[in-house]
């Protein structure tokens, strides 16, 4: 099958959530949502669980924002398992998460295997090594992606927005701010043409501070305000869970 006739699929592996979309629209891969939480952890029997199944795991067995480990250059993450605390390879856990994405897509009638042309998003600020780590994990999860089919996330967002616009009557420059859980990415796009738009990427960059950092700042403020009115989180039965919530 030639590339032009292969169905085009986008996979957005985000820090907080993961989504799949095709030319027909968003593919609902979540149990109750269009998205799947980007969560991974260990069940009581020692198996790796991802998505909604990981939500109710004990704190030590649940790993949030696993994608940030690539941004931060971490190869391992420490996690509790039924057999004790272990240092687990980050990339192995990402493989399990992406495999589940493929399975859920297939159950919803959307092939994300070799029969599809899969575009995989990544932060604009990632360097070559970071991109290759995600690429390798995706290939191990049987997603047919190569470096040329990886797309900077703010560029993908800008193109998606442009696809919903009518014919352009003049050239445009647009700035895209893509604030996710782990990175804030920015792209500047130059757009020309009418119905068939010609898009050039003038710049794409970012910083490793976004939603997770904002969550921590809000949580610190709440901790301070609760202490001010006499609520001591450390005195609760499960202070770590309270802070996580």
Q: What is the CATH number of the domain that holds 67?
A: 3.30.420.40
Task: Answer yes or no: do 144 and 164 share one domain.
Answer: no
Residues counted in the chain: 245
Task: Answer yes or no: do 196 and 138 share one domain.
Answer: no
Contact assessment for residue 102 and residue 83, using Cβ atoms and an 8 Å cutoff = no
Q: Domain count of the chain?
A: 3
pLDDT of res. 1:
41
Task: Answer yes or no: do 38 and 137 share one domain.
Answer: yes
Tokens representing residue 204 in the block: 């794409």
Is 3 a residue whose pLDDT tops 60? Answer: no
Task: Answer yes or no: do 104 and 174 share one domain.
Answer: no
Task: Answer yes or no: do 140 and 86 share one domain.
Answer: yes
3-state class of 66 per DSSP? coil
Task: Answer yes or no: do 9 and 31 share one domain.
Answer: yes
Is residue 2 very low, low, confident or very high in pLDDT (cuts 50, 70, 90)?
very low
Residue of 77, 70, 66 lying closest to 15 (CA atoms) = 66
Integer Cα distance of 153 and 205 in angstroms: 10
Contact assessment for residue 77 and residue 69, using Cβ atoms and an 8 Å cutoff = yes
Task: Answer yes or no: do 40 and 77 share one domain.
Answer: yes
Contact assessment for residue 105 and residue 34, using Cβ atoms and an 8 Å cutoff = no
Integer Cα distance of 8 and 231 in angstroms: 52
Query: Which domain covers residue 236, as residue numbers?
Result: 211-244
Is 63 a residue whose pLDDT tops 60? Answer: yes
Longest distance between any two alpha carbons in the chain, whole Å: 67
Task: Answer yes or no: do 167 and 88 share one domain.
Answer: no
Contact assessment for residue 16 and residue 65, using Cβ atoms and an 8 Å cutoff = yes
pLDDT tens across 110-132, in order? Answer: 988 887 889 999 999 999 999 99
User: Span 57-72, mean pLDDT?
Assistant: 93
Integer Cα distance of 103 and 197 in angstroms: 34
pTM of the full structure: 0.85
User: Span 91-100, mean pLDDT?
Assistant: 97
pLDDT tens across 152-181, in order? Answer: 999 999 988 888 887 777 888 999 999 999
User: Span 141-146, mean pLDDT?
Assistant: 94
Is 96 a residue whose pLDDT tops 80? Answer: yes
């Amino acid at each position: 099958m030639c590339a032009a006739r292969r169905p085009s699929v986008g996979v957005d592996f985000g820090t907080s959530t993961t989504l799949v979309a095709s030319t027909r629209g968003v593919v609902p891969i979540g149990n109750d949502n269009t998205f799947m939480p980007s969560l991974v952890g260990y069940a009581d029997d020692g198996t790796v669980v991802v998505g909604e199944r990981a939500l109710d795991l004990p704190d030590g067995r649940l790993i949030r924002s696993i994608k940030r480990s690539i941004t931060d250059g971490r190869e391992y993450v420490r996690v509790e398992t039924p057999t004790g605390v272990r240092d687990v390879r980050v990339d192995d856990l990402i493989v399990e998460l992406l495999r589940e994405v493929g399975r859920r897509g297939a159950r919803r009638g959307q092939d994300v295997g070799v029969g599809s042309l899969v575009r995989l998003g990544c932060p604009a600020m990632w360097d070559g090594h970071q991109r290759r780590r995600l690429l390798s994990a995706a290939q191990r999860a049987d997603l047919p992606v190569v470096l040329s089919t990886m797309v900077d996330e703010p560029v993908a967002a800008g193109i998606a927005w442009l696809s919903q616009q009518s014919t352009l009557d003049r050239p445009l420059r647009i700035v895209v701010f893509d604030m996710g859980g782990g990175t804030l990415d920015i792209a500047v796009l130059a757009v020309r043409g009418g119905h068939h738009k010609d898009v050039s990427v003038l710049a794409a960059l970012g910083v490793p501070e976004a939603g997770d950092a904002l969550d921590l700042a809000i949580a610190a403020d709440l901790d301070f305000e609760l202490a001010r009115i006499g609520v001591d989180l450390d005195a609760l039965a499960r202070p770590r869970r309270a802070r996580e919530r």
